[in-house]
Structure 1
């Protein structure tokens, strides 16, 4: 059964890749849940109100434009309604686009963080996906399950502004090195769309990834258009300060610590006035 599946997969990929104009667009809906306990004791009504304010940050729509070797993943940004509220840091910070080129093994993340634009450039290392035999249908496509365990480098914005954020202990001259936080990722991909890419920074499977479940976030493809007559332009981003992934992570870490200290300082001053 396994060998038959492999043969069929190779035939599908070979036939599809023979098309020189193979290209398409996929639309993804992203939803992230939040641990409300980090904000202290809240009534159910307060939780609903906070979640409503956070909706634009926790629920997003993205478009993945792809061809045989390259893809660009972008958020569909919508103008906020008049009088709407929400975390301004959630709207102004974050990714602009993620460009992946499997032929050149290069990924460029165009990201605005702390009012500065960066181009995070890194080599596309091969993810160690564990291929499963489970299948399910997403739309008209048969999808196969794959699992990945990787380091979680997600920015914990909620931890900065929550009541449980801890103040740095200045009495300790040596800071303990935190253990790596690991993340289990479950992907569902379809060999019927033979491109080795997917949403966000994920790639490396023998078919387009239509669903990603990673921690509290789920990204689900809700629409796919293949081989449109219009030539789709997929260009690498070029505006911003070029940095490596390691350099970018260090910048974010430093700025995040500054934000935590400022927030705690304001909270402490407010508490003393009361």
Structure 2
């Protein structure tokens, strides 16, 4: 009799779970508002070395007295039919003076991803020139953890990864948005990435609002303007342009390719 009661309880519990899963709502289309935050003090500090310290240290001290520590930039991610379009919103804020042209402290990518075919088209602004980078989606070896946090009203699970051999990435995704996309070039988790951090680069992207709305196909149309290249060709071009830049070349190259 006791075993029968236990069996009956299990069947009821399983049945309830199945009904809950069937009734659970998944967001499949809409727009996400993101805020990118750059810790300018930390970024500036990293540019100081023994070769430029006499000048940059005093410049940094003056910078901290007149400029905010965090630079904030807005962007949107539109999604539907397993496609996404990441679009920066132009800022009227000043370029923060020093290192204002650095891709780390700006937004240089407008990216259309087709998550079904695995194709990514990125209109990348490199100083005054636009490139149209057509290539496959970045393959990221994510390691999902048990840690969770709330972002824009969604419970998100943490995942960690290493990209470009040295850049540590922390992402928070929700499977309530059943699209494996995310901001910038980060995709490949079992749901939408709503939070992203590059701790050692002092940069984060976090969703501030998710709008479940119908999305027109035109809103997902890939960008078309720019010199067409793939990732390998872009890297070769940038290395050639920056070959005489010394130590600054590596930081710019990494940021543009990211």
Assess same fold via TM > 0.5: yes
Q: 2:47 matched to 1:38?
A: yes
**Equivalent residue of 1:89, what SS?**
coil
Partner of 1:124: 137
Instruction: Kindly indicate whether the alpha-carbon contact (under 8 Å) linking 2:29 and 2:215 is maintained by their aligned counterparts in 1.
Output: no
Q: 2:75 matched to 1:89?
A: no
Seen in structure 2, the aligned counterparts of structure 1 residues 87 and 230 have a Cα distance that, compared at 3 Å, is: same
Cα deviations by residue, 1:193-236 (Å, 9 ceiling, x for unpaired): 1111001100011111010111321111111101x246362111
Cα deviations by residue, 1:59-109 (Å, 9 ceiling, x for unpaired): 31111111131111111102356x985656348x86240111111110111
After TM superposition, list the pairs within 5 Å mapping 1:165-244 onto structure 2: 182-214=166-198, 215=200, 216-226=202-212, 228-229=213-214, 231=216, 233-244=219-230
Runs of 4+ in 1 over 6 A off after TM superposition: 12-15
Cα deviations by residue, 1:169-200 (Å, 9 ceiling, x for unpaired): xxxxxxxxxxxx51111110011111110011
2: distance between equivalents of 1:14 and 1:70?
22
Q: Which runs of 5+ in 1 are unaligned?
A: 152-180, 264-274
| Equivalenced residues, count | 219
After TM superposition, list the pairs within 5 Å mapping 1:1-274 onto structure 2: 11=21, 16=26, 22-33=28-39, 34-36=43-45, 38-39=47-48, 40=53, 42-43=57-58, 45-49=61-65, 51-52=67-68, 58-80=71-93, 87=99, 89-90=101-102, 95-151=108-164, 182-214=166-198, 215=200, 216-226=202-212, 228-229=213-214, 231=216, 233-260=219-246
Instruction: Kindly indicate whether the alpha-carbon contact (under 8 Å) linking 2:138 and 2:187 is maintained by their aligned counterparts in 1.
Output: no
2: distance between equivalents of 1:212 and 1:201?
11
Give the TM-score taking structure 2 as reference length: 0.72
> How far is 1:13 from its partner?
11
Task: Provide the alpha-carbon RMSD of the alignment.
Answer: 3.4
2: distance between equivalents of 1:127 and 1:84?
32
Q: Which runs of 5+ in 2 are unaligned?
A: 1-13, 250-258
**Equivalent residue of 1:127, what SS?**
coil
